[in-house]
Amino acid sequence: MTQLLHCPQLSLCSYTEEAHVASVTQAGVAPDHFYGTTIYPTDVFIAGEWLRVKNQRMDAAIALNYTPTLSAECKLLRDLEVGDLVVVGEEGIRIPDKTTANPPDREFSFMSSGVSSERQVRLIVERLANDLLTYRESGWKVVITAGPVVIHTGGGDALATLIRQGYVQALLGGNAIAVHDIEQALFGTSLGVDMQQGINVRGGHRHHLQAINCIRRCGTIERAVDQGILNHGVMYECVKQGIPFALAGSIRDDGPLPDTITDTVVAQQEYARLLHGADMILMLSSMLHSIGVGNMTPAGVQIVCVDINPAVVTKLCDRGSVESLGVVTDVGLFLNLLVQQLTQQTVPKLTQISG
Amino acid sequence: MTQLLHCPQLSLCSYTEEAHVASVTQAGVAPDHFYGTTIYPTDVFIAGEWLRVKNQRMDAAIALNYTPTLSAECKLLRDLEVGDLVVVGEEGIRIPDKTTANPPDREFSFMSSGVSSERQVRLIVERLANDLLTYRESGWKVVITAGPVVIHTGGGDALATLIRQGYVQALLGGNAIAVHDIEQALFGTSLGVDMQQGINVRGGHRHHLQAINCIRRCGTIERAVDQGILNHGVMYECVKQGIPFALAGSIRDDGPLPDTITDTVVAQQEYARLLHGADMILMLSSMLHSIGVGNMTPAGVQIVCVDINPAVVTKLCDRGSVESLGVVTDVGLFLNLLVQQLTQQTVPKLTQISG
Amino acid sequence: MTQLLHCPQLSLCSYTEEAHVASVTQAGVAPDHFYGTTIYPTDVFIAGEWLRVKNQRMDAAIALNYTPTLSAECKLLRDLEVGDLVVVGEEGIRIPDKTTANPPDREFSFMSSGVSSERQVRLIVERLANDLLTYRESGWKVVITAGPVVIHTGGGDALATLIRQGYVQALLGGNAIAVHDIEQALFGTSLGVDMQQGINVRGGHRHHLQAINCIRRCGTIERAVDQGILNHGVMYECVKQGIPFALAGSIRDDGPLPDTITDTVVAQQEYARLLHGADMILMLSSMLHSIGVGNMTPAGVQIVCVDINPAVVTKLCDRGSVESLGVVTDVGLFLNLLVQQLTQQTVPKLTQISG
Amino acid sequence: MTQLLHCPQLSLCSYTEEAHVASVTQAGVAPDHFYGTTIYPTDVFIAGEWLRVKNQRMDAAIALNYTPTLSAECKLLRDLEVGDLVVVGEEGIRIPDKTTANPPDREFSFMSSGVSSERQVRLIVERLANDLLTYRESGWKVVITAGPVVIHTGGGDALATLIRQGYVQALLGGNAIAVHDIEQALFGTSLGVDMQQGINVRGGHRHHLQAINCIRRCGTIERAVDQGILNHGVMYECVKQGIPFALAGSIRDDGPLPDTITDTVVAQQEYARLLHGADMILMLSSMLHSIGVGNMTPAGVQIVCVDINPAVVTKLCDRGSVESLGVVTDVGLFLNLLVQQLTQQTVPKLTQISG
């Protein structure tokens, strides 16, 4: 984490040096000593004034734009073009006090950050439900990252319900969650196990391949919905509710589904596009996709990370920011409890407890 | 695991050698080459006939009694007395086919054994609820081993309900589960965290010590109940329902409570006494006590082990017997869901699915 | 796992039905009821004779080729072309006894399969060293899959040594292992921590970005080696020894390096090409890439999987085949010990212990 | 953790209230509102002066002694006697700045506290070796807490070497580590697995029982050494070098060995006696015993905790003090590497790196 210029009393700084810049001379390559960005809101001192950097994210360079007016934005190395002006060194950069990162009107009512499996998940669910109701009412943006464990542990219906009822504005995942959701919708099984009876179905180990083949025949998930072939589940609800989703390809994919974005650079762009403006991210049992999302997400976005493995939760919540909450629990039970709570709790409660 | 004489076709064995025995000459010490027992029902061939060994358990010697009639029983090394006749070597010992270990009239309806966190816990809960209803109706014996995580994760009320409603015939644990249950009953906190609001209470880190001090002042947990000081919770229900419990001491204990059996040999005797005749054991997030219980428990007893750590579940379920089921999940949510299911499901369903 | 026709006594089968086939009518889509393959060597009965399926792997279809002569091969759904003939149903398919999957002249000297953290890793290392010596001498092919944890835990030098000394014939991984290896080679740090002193270096959190930028400037890893900029480490040794490597892109990548294959379908093809003919695969702390590799790998290939997380090892070793060995340990120490053992043990010992 | 009176600038406190005290009226029961202690050095203001509390430990009461002179000490609830004066409330209590807890002349050279499996264990081992050499030379006290995993993972010889070479001043554990060490010494197996060949030995599953029986016959571990029956291993070295050990009983014990202290209150007293004055504690893969030890240990004692399970390491290191270091690694490899390092490094290096 950077130690640069955490300067709460800016008025005391009588003189500020201009940020140094250098030109990009080779596409996709930054100048030496380029400044690598963090998740924290950052200002650069250019032409005698502090500019707030746009599209804040980790591990980018800061590029200046002079048209239409002077501005600064985070730009990935691979996106740098010849002639771009990039900030180098550490002069003229400040990270305002982190406590201002979290706008007061989106105060999150959770107990203080941290990770523990020995904690009352029911309490957390109750407050998350309250926040989701408030967010929906206020038109704030909630993005979910989810892995196939959500389906295997019986959380698929609950996730579909959250989408149907308008609590989710975008879904990010990989090929696998969509395959297993569609397997469940078409065959009633998850990895060949009957989801109602918990027993292996004869020939069931091929269901996920048949699900992939079915969607490939239709052309896309959307067309499978339109043709009435796919008629419930998580992906169905995304199509029906018009909730955008991005499925990022990986080396372990079967198929893949035609919707899966096999180029990971394109997938990152699509993830970033869908994450833009997010107020809350729920990370549900998917370390790979959640790390990807974490890299793109500035401080100030509420993050709730649910996984049964404490090491995953610790890794994802270790952002040096106060807005992430880790919950070590069974994600299937968690989602079912959340939907149950939302059903009971039609209006958000007044929150008496500060974070 | 022993490989001895798994002999399903006993009629083919035309000749059987007598088991060899030797005398104990030093109290608490077995003769050389004594036969160490397993969890499986075992027969010894003595005086021309096969005797079924009584009190079957792991890691004991087999001692013969001649009065009133010839019998054989498992006896711990420390319990051997001078003059006891102990089976030595491997002659004249047989372990009948393991498939007969599980009486057909107590068929357990669970899916096949195994351990997985990627499984529908709700299905397991539904069937366990069904079995618990059957067991209660049939007068079969259910014993619970539980650790303090049950309380920290918000499962205390659910466990108290199971006891109050007659699903549990004995409770085994350590000092800690009782301390934390009583802390919650007296102060509403668990390790100083308010269980309704999920926040730290000022001075709350001392509540567990004050709970211990309070019970020490009363004399016993029972007297605290009688005096109206302890008026709800897991230990309260045990006292009120007359459900016996045993709290085994350990090196990590605070206090301890006056009820805690600080001598571990005495605690093992008390555990064994309460386990006698058990038909099902629920092991809830307590590796230490569950391993102790596993050592005392013969094959044929249904074991359901719930823990959030897959390594613990694997260790406890690895008994080489078919009756153990491991569930990797959040024990607090599990217990709440179980009570919810029992409430809905007043009569046991017919079970259509074989194990 | 398929239950089909495990038929050790094939001579007793007096009559065999022909396998059924159907044509592909849409590119990348299999006919209904196509047979999905497993990791086990598979035969199809076509035109009156049993054909062994080529390129055996999981989750593929079986396509027939008639030119130059009749043959059958595993083909991924996405690779199917209009007009391909694909096996459907389960007639005319057999999986010969699994025990023949492992050629007797490549007997692996390890203790029986299984997973445990409570095991003597030194013994396993000793035998793996012995096997690696034999494999190198015999010209057998060893492929390594590795994650960045290998570098963070101090195993980088040891892995580089294995490559330099000819024990490794291909390296598979992601962007991250290469980035962290190159960070260590260029800056002496791993995620900004000095690898000799174990302390955070000022500004070190940007080293991995600078490493990426440096290679992007050079054009490829190979050119960075040619220019003398990258002069030691894992990737350096791959270039110098002419050991092919494939870096598969993922959603979590920084950069990526110019060598990283961002299209995951292309990356799978390259993985499969490098895995072709592998006799042993070492999977070193990379669940994502190792699952990908496992899907492509037929039974009969020795797999040794090392990870500090028992759940990962269990998942990777759960192939229903006898040739996988899981080791729950610290991968950095494991690799250092392995190199130390190889240095001491110049000729392979006679192996007295059967698997 | 207490928030009381962390008062670095004590001179600014112009007036201090006397601590309040109350009498014990029932043996083993503290007065209401007694002050429960923490691990931090604590002062009480009595009779106009600040007294440093003796025998500092967690979860005790503070009792005053008036003879021979006024003093204050930590006393467990169960040890309170009628008439003892105990501090109640929070007046007149201060916890001086925690940074003074660690005497500067015992500076520990480790990298900053924390827990990670992605870290160079070799670096940690190198520095621990350096510290152990310094400690031995300086006559400082090192206590080891160890579980049976040390033996199963092949660390037994290394631990025996540490004891033989004078690096250890006391050994704390349970029945199991002694049983498995003695099994290995007598039979060459650990849980029935041959430690040289890694294979199961016929009948080996009974070796641990036979080891117990053997020591029971001898009377004590010491007598088994005297009689030449036990002639190497961890417990042998303790006896031969006169290093005191305490084996605490637990509910899971087989046997137990005659040396095992079955009463856990007595075991806690013996642990506390052996821990008195410890400068460093190595906690090796034993959560149960290490938690017990942690409760008895004041801040300022160096703690190094080694376990393959990150959750255990996190739990043990979470003391709110700066002197604990968690290492997530394979304890068998760790100990072997440590002994190897100590052998190479005969004199302690000058430490250039501050903690």
**If pLDDT is split at 50, 70 and 90, which confidence band does C353 have?**
very low
In this prediction, residue D292 carries a pLDDT of: 94
CB within 8 Å: A117 and D311: yes
Q: Are B61 and B35 in contact (CB under 8 A)?
A: yes
Shortest CB distance from B251 goes to which of D254, D267, D309?
D267
Using a CB–CB cutoff of 8 Å, tell me whether B104 touches chain A.
no
Counting as contact any 3 or more CB pairs under 8 A, the partners of C are A, B, D
Using a CB–CB cutoff of 8 Å, tell me whether C231 touches chain B.
no
Least confident stretch, A98-102, B33-37, B81-85, C220-224: A98-102
Q: Which residues in chain C touch residue D197, judged by CB atoms under 8 angstroms apart?
A: 123, 353
Using a CB–CB cutoff of 8 Å, tell me whether D321 touches chain C.
no
In this prediction, residue A213 carries a pLDDT of: 96
Q: Which residues in chain D touch residue A314, judged by CB atoms under 8 angstroms apart?
A: 310, 314
pTM: 0.87
Q: Which residues in chain D touch residue C149, judged by CB atoms under 8 angstroms apart?
A: 117-118
CB within 8 Å: B124 and A328: no
**If pLDDT is split at 50, 70 and 90, which confidence band does A320 have?**
low
Nearest-CA distance from A118 to chain B in Å? Answer: 5
B98-147 per-position pLDDT tens digit: 544 444 343 344 444 455 556 688 889 999 999 999 999 999 999 999 99
- Stated length of chain D: 355
Is residue A209 predicted with pLDDT exceeding 60?
yes
Q: Residues B163-175: what's their mean pLDDT?
A: 98
Nearest-CA distance from C106 to chain D in Å? Answer: 20
Q: Which residues in chain D touch residue C119, judged by CB atoms under 8 angstroms apart?
A: 152-153, 193, 198
- Stated length of chain A: 355
In this prediction, residue A108 carries a pLDDT of: 39
Using a CB–CB cutoff of 8 Å, tell me whether B130 touches chain A.
no
B50-91 per-position pLDDT tens digit: 999 999 999 999 999 988 899 999 999 999 999 999 999 999
In this prediction, residue B103 carries a pLDDT of: 42
Q: Is D228 exposed, middle or buried (0-12, 13-18, 19+ CB in 10 A)?
A: exposed
Give SS3 for D120: coil
Nearest-CA distance from B112 to chain C in Å? Answer: 16
- Partner A, chain B 144-163, Cβ-Cβ below 8 Å: 149, 152-154
CB within 8 Å: D252 and B292: yes
CB within 8 Å: C292 and A252: yes
Instruction: State both tokens at C271.
Output: 């993985």
Determine the residue of chain C that is closest to A30 in CA distance.
C213
Q: Give the residue, C117 or C106, on which the prediction is more confident.
A: C117
Q: Are B227 and B218 in contact (CB under 8 A)?
A: yes
Residue ranges, chain D, pLDDT below 50:
1-14, 99-113, 350-355
Interface mutation target, options A333, A334, A335, A351, chain B, most CBs of B under 10 Å: A333
Q: How many CA within 13 A on the CB side of residue C106?
A: 21
Q: Give the residue, D109 or B336, on which the prediction is more confident.
A: B336
C143-158 in b/e form (b: 16+ CB < 10 A) is bbbbbbbbbbbbbbbb
In this prediction, residue C352 carries a pLDDT of: 38
What is the H or E stretch that residue C328 is in? strand C324-328
**If pLDDT is split at 50, 70 and 90, which confidence band does B344 have?**
confident
Q: Residues C344-348: what's their mean pLDDT?
A: 68
**If pLDDT is split at 50, 70 and 90, which confidence band does A349 have?**
low
Q: Residues B337-355: what's their mean pLDDT?
A: 68
Give SS3 for C255: coil
Counting as contact any 3 or more CB pairs under 8 A, the partners of A are B, C, D
Is residue C192 predicted with pLDDT exceeding 80?
yes
**If pLDDT is split at 50, 70 and 90, which confidence band does C351 have?**
very low
Determine the residue of chain C that is closest to A191 in CA distance.
C1
Alpha carbons D247 and B3: distance in angstroms, whole number: 33
| Closest by CA position to B355, among listed B115, B111, B107, B120 | B111
Q: Residues B227-238: what's their mean pLDDT?
A: 98
In this prediction, residue D116 carries a pLDDT of: 58
Label each residue of chain A as H, E or C.
CCCCCCCCCHHHCCCCCCCEEEECCECCECCCCECCCCCCCCEEEECCEEEECECCCCCCEEEEECCCCCEEEEECHHHCCCCCEEEECCCCEECCCHHHHCCHHHCCCCCCCECCCCCCHHHHHHHHHHHHHHHHHHCCCEEEEECCHHHHCCCHHHHHHHHHCCCCCEEEEEHHHHHHHHHHHHHCEECCEECCCCCECCCHHHHHHHHHHHHHHHCCHHHHHHCCCCCCCHHHHHHHHCCCEEEECCCCCCCCCCCCECEHHHHHHHHHHHHCCCCEEEEECCHHHHHHHHHHCCCCCEEEEEECCHHHHHHHHCCCCCCEEEEECCHHHHHHHHHHHHHHCCCCCCCCCCC
Shortest CB distance from C289 goes to which of A174, A251, A265?
A251
In this prediction, residue A15 carries a pLDDT of: 62
Is residue B352 predicted with pLDDT exceeding 60?
no
CB within 8 Å: D153 and C336: no
Determine the residue of chain B that is closest to A126 in CA distance.
B197
**If pLDDT is split at 50, 70 and 90, which confidence band does A101 have?**
very low
Alpha carbons A269 and A248: distance in angstroms, whole number: 10
How much is the mean pLDDT over chain C? 87
Q: Which residues in chain D touch residue A310, judged by CB atoms under 8 angstroms apart?
A: 310-311, 314
CA distance to A80, A243, A327, per residue, from A114 (Å): 37, 31, 8
In this prediction, residue C23 carries a pLDDT of: 96
| Closest by CA position to B326, among listed B292, B281, B279, B278 | B281
CB within 8 Å: B256 and D265: yes
Shortest CB distance from A288 goes to which of C206, C250, C311?
C250
Least confident stretch, B329-343, C116-130, D257-271: C116-130
Q: Residues A152-157: what's their mean pLDDT?
A: 94
Q: Which residues in chain C touch residue B310, judged by CB atoms under 8 angstroms apart?
A: 310-311, 314
Q: Which residues in chain B touch residue A199, judged by CB atoms under 8 angstroms apart?
A: 111, 353
C136-161 per-position pLDDT tens digit: 999 999 999 999 999 999 999 999 99
- Partner D, chain B 14-73, Cβ-Cβ below 8 Å: 26, 28-30, 34, 36, 59
Q: Give the residue, D257 or A14, on which the prediction is more confident.
A: D257
Q: Which residues in chain C touch residue B117, judged by CB atoms under 8 angstroms apart?
A: 311
**If pLDDT is split at 50, 70 and 90, which confidence band does A85 have?**
very high
A250-306 per-position pLDDT tens digit: 999 999 999 999 999 999 999 999 999 999 999 999 999 999 999 999 998 999 999
How many beta-carbon pairs below 8 A join chains B and D? 117
**If pLDDT is split at 50, 70 and 90, which confidence band does A322 have?**
low
Nearest-CA distance from B138 to chain D in Å? Answer: 31
What backbone torsions phi and psi does residue C170 show, to the nearest 5 degrees? -165, 150
Interface mutation target, options A5, A93, A264, A268, chain C, most CBs of C under 10 Å: A264
C206-244 per-position pLDDT tens digit: 899 999 999 999 999 999 999 999 999 999 999 999 999
CB within 8 Å: A198 and B152: no
In this prediction, residue B169 carries a pLDDT of: 98
Instruction: State both tokens at C143.
Output: 């492929």
**If pLDDT is split at 50, 70 and 90, which confidence band does A11 have?**
very low
Q: Which residues in chain A touch residue B154, judged by CB atoms under 8 angstroms apart?
A: 120-123
